Chains A and B, each alone.
Chain A
Amino acid sequence: MLKIEHLTKTYGDKAAVEDLSLHISPGEICGFIGHNGAGKTTTLKCVAGILSFDSGEITVNGNSVRTDPMKTKRDIAYIPDNPDLYDYMSGIRFLNFVGDIFGVPADVRQEKIRTLGDTFELTKDLAQPISAYSHGMKQKLAVISAWLHDPKLILMDEPFVGLDPKASHLLKGLMREHCDRGGAIFFSTHVLEVAEKLCDEVAIIKSGRLIREGTMEDVRGDESLEAVFLELEEE
């Protein structure tokens, strides 16, 4: 589903991501772990087609992000760490805007908005302007918009920040369900317990370089993910 080969991205003369390679197959949830400024957001943004990169190749479902960005973006949904949405729209208008861009038919759109809105208890607030939303509500709206067009790959940057425990639980369920239906998820998180329970694969990045990658069992071994992560950070 997602193939990152030798990705390098620099800002000026500072390498934010260096020679990073990572593969995620359909049905997999891959957790992306690293300290602040390690290069997680930069990698996610490169995959989402928001940032151009210096070298390497990223393909989503066989299409290159560099040469065919429109095709890859149709297969992707991206939720950033701080969902700055359109404050000048209401929640429902925003969802309809996203639906229009992805060409989601009216009945499908309506059904999804109803189901997901009810799931996250956001339906009654959809007529309100986004400027009146709390951080958590914006996060929920971003999640609904991400699921609206049935993407193959979902990219999420710290998706659980700002969500209440119930919404976090629901989101984890949705993520699992999405992957069970053949989709894939690549998300960054600092909550190692969540990663440990939820992820099939884990990738650890340090100072722009991928230092460990594999199935959760392989990476963790007999230790906890936290212990492995801290050990790697010390090295």
Chain B
Amino acid sequence: MLKALFRKQLLELVGQNLLYDRRKGTTRSRGGIALFAVLYVFLFGWFAFMFGSVSYALCPQLVGAGLDWLYFAIMALLAVALGVFGSVFNTYTALYRSKDNDLLLSMPIPPSKILFVRLSGVALLSFLFVALVFLPAVFVYNRIVGVSFPALLFQILLVFPLSAAATALTCLLGWVVALVAVRVKNKTAVTVVLTLAFIGVYYYIYGTAYRILASILANTEKVSRAFRSWLFPLYAAGQGAVGKTIYFLLAVLIAAAAFALTWYILSRTYLRITTDNRGAAKAVYHEKRAKVSGVSTALLKRELRHFTSSSVYMLNCGLGIVFMLLAPIAGLIKMGALRNGIGMLFSSSESRNLLPLILCGVICLLSTMIDVTAPSVSLEGRSIWLVQSLPVLPQSVLSAKLRMHLLFAWIPTVIDVLVFCFIAGTTIPQALLVLAACCAYVLFSAEAGLALNLLMPNLTWMNEAYPVKQSAPVAIILFGSWFFLGALAALYFALSGILSVDLYLLLVAVLLLAASLLLYGWLMKSGAKRFAELG
């Protein structure tokens, strides 16, 4: 029974995109699967490189002080933190809000087993995130210190208990969200508020990470003592990683116990939470005069309603809106410090010239966190027949998706550009150039997300977390944007002898607008045709 359930779960996680072409209704060719695999390897490689760099900064100093175990303990802490952060947003939905809940609960399967399989889906995601941090740390350590056995084996195997610990933590957080959500009317709002609070705490810690790291390096004795007494599981993991068998076994045991305890606690309430709808008081309809809208507004309203009714969609694709609106407020509060910092960093006239370019890059980078269009076609799901059977052009439907993205991304972009250009003291023409380049970039990324989703749709998901969080279009648009912006920066340095920053910004804006125009043409012709044939 468990094997069949695991196979179903794996098919949901991996098969939907990797093995099956939903648009053609056929299995992907080997070439297609290989292409997808290469893409994911590339993305994971990039993440691994980033965390490898952190390891390189930390490893020599701690190893030099004879605190090899502390290096592994810190990296284990980072790995578990990323594992929790990476999967916590969809844990509640994945555990409790799957569309096949009724089907599975109606079968002779104990709810605890259904939960176990759901947990495995979360665990797989946690495993990926933990591995992305911890394996590069292992690689860096063995490069610097040299390979020794059984330490290397323990180091690699530690990924499993660390993933189990991350899964236990993320599931407990998801459980708390579920316990609250089941008692209130507006589940979406509660989920969003709780998750935003969690993100706030996370980013506070992230924001002070440098101070924390510096303090760790300056107070290794104290930190070691703290790990030993307050974070014993991580201490055990660190000692296990340097080859101490007993500590390795202890770390495995603690993680297994945490996972088992989580499963036990959650399985006691699983059926009740999944089927309970206490908070949902029955709303009674009172006739009101209908507000009549045109087709275009009705389609935009439909998109907005979908967005605001889904916590997964809002948190994963619209988090950038919050950041982009908070950033200028924080910038204005800390204006003095920011201006001092800018004055110090960009003291020469040469470096000061680069300021508009850097501002543009940072704002574009922030805007990549708004990827509303990337899962929007997949989110039509099984109800896609509706817009296909109504007298609306597929172009109008796609256009509504684009307009929603631009509505969410352009307004904060304009605010960010105006505030940060004011703080940085750029000239008005420079600010206008930054604004043009940023807005053109937002337009291009909105269209690119929509195009990618039309090329790689998934309409048969079991819960919205799959198209929103685990689909190729979202991954490509998110990480691809970083590469794209990196390439634009590199292009500036290649052309810096010929073009000034102002001219380069103008060139970028024009090129992005031209590309957007071409992409828009594709969306309205081939894209619309694809949309009409989906389902």
The answer to whether B285 touches A97 (Cβ under 8 A) is: no
Q: Does A9 contact B (CB under 8 A)?
A: no
Q: Does A74 contact B (CB under 8 A)?
A: yes
* Chain B residues, Cβ within 8 Å of A110: 287, 289-290
Q: Does B291 contact A (CB under 8 A)?
A: yes
* Chain A residues, Cβ within 8 Å of B382: 82, 84
Q: Does B316 contact A (CB under 8 A)?
A: no
The answer to whether B389 touches A48 (Cβ under 8 A) is: yes
Query: Scoring B residues 110 to 126 as 1 if CB is less than 8 Å from chain A, else 0, what string do you get?
Result: 00000000000000000
The answer to whether B298 touches A101 (Cβ under 8 A) is: yes
The answer to whether A128 touches B282 (Cβ under 8 A) is: yes
Given A85-B386, A86-B302, A127-B285, CB of A70 within 8 Å of CB of B391 = yes
Total A-B contacts with CB atoms under 8 angstroms apart: 98
A146 to chain B, nearest CB (A): 10
Return the contact of A106 from the options B292, B298, B309, B392 (Cβ within 8 A). B292
* Chain B residues, Cβ within 8 Å of A82: 382
The answer to whether B381 touches A49 (Cβ under 8 A) is: no
Q: Does B305 contact A (CB under 8 A)?
A: yes
B-contacting 9-mer, from A87-95, A177-185, A214-222: A87-95
Given A99-B290, A100-B297, CB of A11 within 8 Å of CB of B25 = yes
Q: Does A32 contact B (CB under 8 A)?
A: no
A127 to chain B, nearest CB (A): 4
The answer to whether A127 touches B284 (Cβ under 8 A) is: yes
Q: Does A15 contact B (CB under 8 A)?
A: no
Given A86-B302, A98-B390, CB of A126 within 8 Å of CB of B285 = yes
Return the contact of A101 from the options B286, B388, B392, B533 (Cβ within 8 A). B392
Bound-state CA distance A102–B305 (Å) is: 19
* Chain B residues, Cβ within 8 Å of A98: 390
B364 to chain A, nearest CB (A): 31
* Chain B residues, Cβ within 8 Å of A70: 391, 393
B250 to chain A, nearest CB (A): 46
The answer to whether B285 touches A124 (Cβ under 8 A) is: yes
B399 to chain A, nearest CB (A): 14
The answer to whether A127 touches B283 (Cβ under 8 A) is: yes
Q: How many residues of B contact A (CB 8 A)?
A: 40
Bound-state CA distance A49–B287 (Å) is: 33
Q: Does A78 contact B (CB under 8 A)?
A: yes
Q: Does A165 contact B (CB under 8 A)?
A: no
Q: Does A16 contact B (CB under 8 A)?
A: no
Residues 304 to 332 of chain B near chain A (Cβ within 8 Å): 305-306, 309-310
Bound-state CA distance A88–B383 (Å) is: 11
Q: Does A207 contact B (CB under 8 A)?
A: no
* Chain B residues, Cβ within 8 Å of A50: 385, 388-389, 535
Bound-state CA distance A99–B297 (Å) is: 12
Chain A's closest residue to B294 (CB) is: A100
* Chain B residues, Cβ within 8 Å of A87: 383
Given A11-B25, A100-B295, CB of A49 within 8 Å of CB of B285 = no
Residue of B286, B295, B297, B302 with most chain A CB atoms under a 10 A cut-off = B302
The answer to whether A84 touches B385 (Cβ under 8 A) is: yes
Given contacts A91-B285, A128-B283, 11 further A-B contacts (CB under 8 A): A48-B388, A50-B385, A84-B386, A85-B383, A89-B305, A98-B390, A102-B390, A106-B290, A106-B292, A110-B289, A125-B285
List 21 A-B residue pairs with CB atoms under 8 Å apart, sorted by A's residue number: A50-B535, A70-B391, A71-B391, A78-B389, A82-B382, A85-B383, A85-B386, A86-B302, A86-B383, A88-B305, A91-B285, A92-B285, A96-B290, A99-B292, A101-B391, A101-B392, A102-B391, A110-B290, A123-B285, A126-B285, A128-B282
A: residues with CB less than 8 A from B are 11-12, 45, 48-50, 52, 70-71, 73-74, 76, 78, 80, 82, 84-93, 96-103, 105-106, 109-110, 113-114, 123-128, 132
10 closest pairs, A vs B, by CB?
A100-B298, A73-B391, A88-B309, A126-B285, A127-B285, A127-B283, A84-B382, A84-B383, A78-B389, A74-B391
